[in-house]
Structure 1
Amino acid sequence: MGEWLFAGVIAALLLYLIAVYNRLIRLRNQYRNAFAQIDVQLQRRHDLIPNLVSATRAYLRHEQDTLTRVTEARRDAAKARTDAARHPGESGAMTRLSQAENLLSGSLAQFRAVAENHPELQADATVSDLMEALTSTENRIGFARQAFNDTVMGYNTYREQFPNNLIGGLFGPFRAADLLSLETAAARQAVAVRL
């Protein structure tokens, strides 16, 4: 009788370990998938910017510095996005992506401020459509970022709970995932336009 009880306890413990391990895997895959959704929207944003710069170049000949800053910030953000896509949730990758995207957002805010001072630019249908597509994409990025951060929080919380933290440490590299922050005070400040 005692052997059956011992075997039952061992079986229950083994099933519990398997359940925790499988849930950790599922939660990690969920946040990786959530990052993939951000990646799609960031790629869309990065693809729209060269078209916008190209469409406005003729109107903003005297604002080449602004266009150059947007182009360089886009290049840096695209590189950071590629790196983060390889390692979603990794602290360094998320920090680099946040910084690069925040610089891009600041450059785009400066670009929009300059564009607002050119009525002929605002009247151009192509530019207007591209600006609307960019705004829509930025909204999608915000929603995707929130979903990513929610799944990261769920993963981190489950991973840190006892005894899950012991089980995760024993059977796999279940490291903490970092949240993605794409909003900074600098990006939200009004941009001063030089004329």
Structure 2
Amino acid sequence: MKKLGIGCGILVGVGIVLLIIVLGAAASYNRLVKLSQAVDNQWAQVQNVYQRRLDLIPNLVATVSGAANFEKSTLTEITQARASVGQLKLDPNSAPTDPAKLAEFEKAQGALSTALSRLLVVVERYPELRATENFRDLQAQLEGTENRIAVERARFNEAVRAYNTEIKSFPALLYAGLLGFREKPYFTAAAGAETPPKVQFDFGTHAPAQNQSQN
């Protein structure tokens, strides 16, 4: 009887330990799901602000192309960069798990950012264009959008950091891979990426010295 009692006690102890493990695993799993959804939600916000920028470009190009003798090569560059971004095939509601896919997305968006910066530098040579209400409005919208892009990228990286930290922590590291939870890639921080491109102009003055130095 004494041995039977000891055996029952051991079984009860093992059962309690298993129950604790199961409950802990369930709680950890639920947290992983929540963190993964947070990454996807933030990815959707990133996509929204990039799409907002994409939507501004046709009006911007149409506005500046009306200026006499405006550099056509600059317009061609930005149009091609916009087309490249439009060809990207990424789920807007699910963050990419393949680093190569995110890198491709970043490369295309980076090329568009560069083209936009060049366009805005060229526009500085056209004071009449810069003074129009339509251009001023587009410039203000673009500036706000670039700021939002920087903010949403940072928030996305923070959501990914929290998720990746969780799947590497106990007890999630024991089963995360088996349940399909994989590490997610971050946006890379290229030089100057923490500062949005400046699209503000001094509408009251020219900047001939700066422009000549860049030509």
Give yes or no for TM over 0.5: yes
What is the aligned partner in structure 2 of residue 160 from structure 1?
A: 168
Structure label with greater radius of gyration = 2
**Counterpart among 59, 62, 65 of residue 67 in structure 2:** 59
| Contact map agreement 2:40 2:93 (CA 8 A) in 1 | no
Q: 1:118 to 1:193 in 2, by over 3 A?
A: farther
User: Structure 1 unaligned runs (5+)?
Assistant: none
Which letter does structure 2 place at the counterpart of 1:66? T
Query: Mapping of 1:46-195 within 5 angstroms?
Result: 46-59=54-67, 61-80=69-88, 82-83=89-90, 85=92, 87-90=94-97, 91-170=99-178, 172-181=179-188, 183-184=190-191, 193-194=214-215
Q: 1:62 to 1:20 in 2, by over 3 A?
A: same
Q: How many matched pairs? A: 191
* TM-score, normalization by structure 2: 0.81
More deviation in 58-67 or 21-30? 58-67
TM-superposed CA distance for 1:60, in Å, is 5.4
What is the alpha-carbon distance in structure 2 between the residues aligned to residue 151 and residue 185 of structure 1?
21
* TM-score, normalization by structure 1: 0.89
| Contact map agreement 1:102 1:184 (CA 8 A) in 2 | no
What is the alpha-carbon distance in structure 1 between the residues aligned to residue 120 and residue 173 of structure 2?
47
More deviation in 82-91 or 143-152? 82-91
| Contact map agreement 2:24 2:171 (CA 8 A) in 1 | no
TM-superposed CA distance for 1:181, in Å, is 3.3
What is the alpha-carbon distance in structure 2 between the residues aligned to residue 182 and residue 40 of structure 1?
20
| Contact map agreement 1:31 1:148 (CA 8 A) in 2 | yes
Query: Mapping of 1:14-25 within 5 angstroms?
Result: 14-25=22-33
What is the alpha-carbon distance in structure 1 between the residues aligned to residue 62 and residue 188 of structure 2?
29
More deviation in 160-169 or 45-54? 160-169
Listed one character per residue, the Cα deviations across residues 120-142 of structure 1 (whole Å, up to 9, x for unaligned) are 11111101100110110010011
What is the aligned partner in structure 1 of residue 202 from structure 2?
A: none
Which letter does structure 1 place at the counterpart of 2:183? A
Q: 1:120 to 1:100 in 2, by over 3 A?
A: same
Which letter does structure 2 place at the counterpart of 1:79? Q
What is the alpha-carbon distance in structure 1 between the residues aligned to residue 191 and residue 106 of structure 2?
9
Which letter does structure 1 place at the counterpart of 2:146? E
Q: 1:38 to 1:174 in 2, by over 3 A?
A: same
Q: 1:95 to 1:149 in 2, by over 3 A?
A: same
User: Structure 2 unaligned runs (5+)?
Assistant: 1-8, 198-209
Kindly, what percent of the aligned residue pairs are identical?
32
Listed one character per residue, the Cα deviations across residues 41-90 of structure 1 (whole Å, up to 9, x for unaligned) are 0110000011100111111544111011111111212333x425365232
